[in-house]
Chains A and B, each alone.
Chain A
Amino acid sequence: MSAIPSGKSSPERPGLEAIAVKGWLRANKWLFLRRLSQLGILALFLLGPWAGIWIVKGNLSSSLTLKTLPLTDPYVLLQSLAAGHFPYRTALIGAAIVAAFYFLVGGRVYCSWVCPVNLISDAAAWARRRLGLKSGHAPDANTRYWLLAGTLIAAGATGSLAWEWVNPVSILHRGLFFGFGLGGFVLLGVFLYDLLLAPRGWCGHVCPMGAFYSLLGRFALLRVSAARRNDCNDCMDCFRVCPEPQVIRPALKQVGQQSPIIDTGNCTLCGRCADVCSKNVFQITHRFNQRSES
């Protein structure tokens, strides 16, 4: 049916086949929405300091929306608790709201739809593909969980939010509104690390914040499903764009599971697999949708 022979694609430019089949817009739908969400949230925060329109104050660590809604990052607050401080109710309520949201929707939705560092690591992954870089080796994917534990222990041992001294997520988001200082080098480091040393290294293997949200979203409702997996033509494009490629195989190839649902907290629900698939194998759905069409 398709003019392009199936099963062929270029490793440098995954998604070409999907663009040819579905059109550019539908082959970039989720990416577009995701950028809209990331940049929209940044814009909301920037409206205050840049234009004097104060819809949101603060930063991702803790903010106040329309002078009423407190939102606090539960991981940052957890560090504060580990450091031995019991916070005021405002912060607790804010953290509870955020935690409940990601618990239901999917923890790492934060990583791909909100976190500003995603723009950096996506840029690095994109550059890596286009330049055809094969160098480097990402650390074990469990490194992040050890680091998560380590940051909490460090908080307890030093009595301060140790990780927040260097946390690239906080540094980037805070830097945009309050100044970077040397923090820019940390961000450059993340980019170069992902580009040269470790493919998808930071967000997928190191970041303790990502690890925290992985755990938080373990039983979340939203999931990606390889519903039309029988149509898969093994072009590998989804593996090439996925920030956590190991999560695809069990659902797509029925390795160790029958369900088409990618049921892991590690999937960031970025939807890029759905974008680049010319066969529309993937869809974003809820975790109870076990149907697999063929």
Chain B
Amino acid sequence: MNSIAGAAGAGCLMALGVGLYARQASALPSQALRPPGARGEAQFLSACIRCGLCVRDCPYNTLKLATLGSSVATGTPYFEARAIPCEMCDDIPCVKACPTGALDRELSDISKARMGLAVLTDHETCLNFLGLRCDVCYRVCPVIDKAITLEIVHNPRSDRHAMLLPTVHSDYCTGCGKCEKSCVLPVAAIKVYPIKLAKGKLPEHYRKGWEEKAKAGGSLIGDQIKLPVRGLEETAP
């Protein structure tokens, strides 16, 4: 009886320890990205059996398996954009290789992948923000002019030049990491983060007037009285 209780105690204690460890370590660090098609992190951790078949079928050695001691769940696949980004293969071999569905086979069009989201984190060092024409992140983007656009803005410092600011659009960015990889700075000014970290969220009740207007095909509050502009007669066109 004593030994059974001991065995039960030891067994449960070990399992509990492991469970706590797994729980604590289940937050994905900010520079580790999951392969294309990966389910949400919580579901991914229940589905991935750590076999590395996705790693094997990645033709660019982008993916690797986390080892014990790194902050990514032991044995699960991830990549770091600054080291080797995802090349966005058309046939998505990593997803096909996954035997359990941790990588979702519903993903058949790689441009629909959302491995993360690029964010131009550092406006103080980005060369385009300094008024130069680096543009490298924009040029290497596989979804150029959609995922990253150059927005022309007046340069208030010189007051006579333009700044062409690389601007990421979450509707199109796959999180492949080519921009982060190619950033010419010693430390990248544009980085790819897991979407959970990168995205904000509007409150549910927010409506954008211009979108509502387009949806309704016209102003929702009818025609407004045209008020005369006063006091700006000098500058008015």
Q: What is the interface of chain A, defined by CB distance below 8 A to chain B?
A: 48, 54, 57-59, 61-64, 70, 72-73, 76-77, 79-80, 83-85, 87-88, 90-91, 94, 139-151, 153-155, 157-166, 170-171, 174-175, 177-183, 185-186, 206
Whether B49 lies near A64 (C-beta < 8 A) is no
B132 in the interface, Cβ–Cβ < 8 Å? no
Q: Can you add 20 more A-B contacts, CB < 8 Å, to A154-B19, A178-B65, A206-B14?
A: A48-B56, A54-B56, A62-B49, A62-B51, A62-B53, A63-B51, A80-B49, A142-B8, A147-B12, A154-B22, A159-B45, A161-B22, A161-B46, A161-B48, A164-B74, A165-B22, A178-B55, A181-B66, A181-B74, A182-B67
Whether A61 lies near B19 (C-beta < 8 A) is no
Q: Which of A57, A85, A154, A181 contacts B18 (CB 8 A)?
A: A154
B139 in the interface, Cβ–Cβ < 8 Å? no
Give B182-211 as 1s and 0s: 1 = Cβ < 8 Å from A's Cβ atoms: 000000000000000000000000000000
Whether B68 lies near A186 (C-beta < 8 A) is yes
B100 in the interface, Cβ–Cβ < 8 Å? yes
Whether B3 lies near A140 (C-beta < 8 A) is yes
- Alpha-carbon separation in the docked complex, A112 to B89 (Å): 41
Question: Taking CB as reference atom, which chain B residue is nearest A186?
Answer: B68
- For the complex of A and B, the 4 pairs showing the least CB-CB separation, nearest first, are A181-B67, A150-B15, A146-B11, A182-B69
Whether A181 lies near B52 (C-beta < 8 A) is no
Whether A94 lies near B99 (C-beta < 8 A) is yes
Whether A57 lies near B75 (C-beta < 8 A) is no
B47 in the interface, Cβ–Cβ < 8 Å? yes
Contacts of A160 in B (CB 8 A): 22-23, 26, 42, 45-46, 73
- Alpha-carbon separation in the docked complex, A157 to B17 (Å): 12
- Alpha-carbon separation in the docked complex, A139 to B43 (Å): 35
Question: Which residues 55-72 of B have a CB within 8 angstroms of A?
Answer: 55-57, 64-70
Q: From residue B7, how far is it (CB to closest CB) to chain A in Å?
A: 4
Contacts of B10 in A (CB 8 A): 139-140, 143, 146-147
Whether A77 lies near B49 (C-beta < 8 A) is yes
Q: From residue B224, how far is it (CB to closest CB) to chain A in Å?
A: 53
Contacts of B64 in A (CB 8 A): 178-179
Q: Which of B11, B12, B21, B68 contacts A144 (CB 8 A)?
A: B11
Majority-rule SS of A interface residues: helix
Give B1-41 as 1s and 0s: 1 = Cβ < 8 Å from A's Cβ atoms: 00110111011101110110111011000000000000000
B131 in the interface, Cβ–Cβ < 8 Å? no
Q: From residue A20, how far is it (CB to closest CB) to chain B in Å?
A: 39
Whether A90 lies near B15 (C-beta < 8 A) is no
List 19 A–B pairs whose Cβ atoms lie within 8 Å, in order of A's numbering.
Answer: A54-B56, A57-B56, A57-B57, A61-B75, A72-B49, A88-B100, A149-B15, A158-B19, A160-B45, A161-B48, A163-B18, A171-B74, A171-B75, A174-B52, A178-B64, A181-B67, A182-B69, A186-B68, A206-B14
Q: From residue B176, how far is it (CB to closest CB) to chain A in Å?
A: 22
Known: A143-B7, A143-B10. A154 touches B15 (CB 8 A): yes
- Alpha-carbon separation in the docked complex, A185 to B18 (Å): 16
B: number of interface residues (CB 8 Å): 49
Whether B56 lies near A182 (C-beta < 8 A) is no
Contacts of B74 in A (CB 8 A): 164-166, 171, 181, 183
Whether B6 lies near A140 (C-beta < 8 A) is yes
- Alpha-carbon separation in the docked complex, A154 to B19 (Å): 5
Whether B75 lies near A164 (C-beta < 8 A) is yes
Q: From residue A46, how far is it (CB to closest CB) to chain B in Å?
A: 13
Whether A58 lies near B18 (C-beta < 8 A) is no
Contacts of A72 in B (CB 8 A): 49, 51, 99
- Alpha-carbon separation in the docked complex, A131 to B215 (Å): 83
Whether B18 lies near A87 (C-beta < 8 A) is no
B105 in the interface, Cβ–Cβ < 8 Å? yes
Question: Taking CB as reference atom, which chain B residue is nearest A165?
Answer: B74
Q: From residue A228, how far is it (CB to closest CB) to chain B in Å?
A: 34
B82 in the interface, Cβ–Cβ < 8 Å? no
Q: From residue B177, how far is it (CB to closest CB) to chain A in Å?
A: 21
Contacts of A142 in B (CB 8 A): 3-4, 7-8
Whether B47 lies near A147 (C-beta < 8 A) is no
Whether A151 lies near B51 (C-beta < 8 A) is no
Contacts of A177 in B (CB 8 A): 52
Whether B22 lies near A91 (C-beta < 8 A) is no
Give B78-122 as 1s and 0s: 1 = Cβ < 8 Å from A's Cβ atoms: 000000000000000000011111100100000000000000000
Whether A178 lies near B68 (C-beta < 8 A) is no
- Alpha-carbon separation in the docked complex, A160 to B25 (Å): 11
Q: From residue A276, how far is it (CB to closest CB) to chain B in Å?
A: 29
B169 in the interface, Cβ–Cβ < 8 Å? no
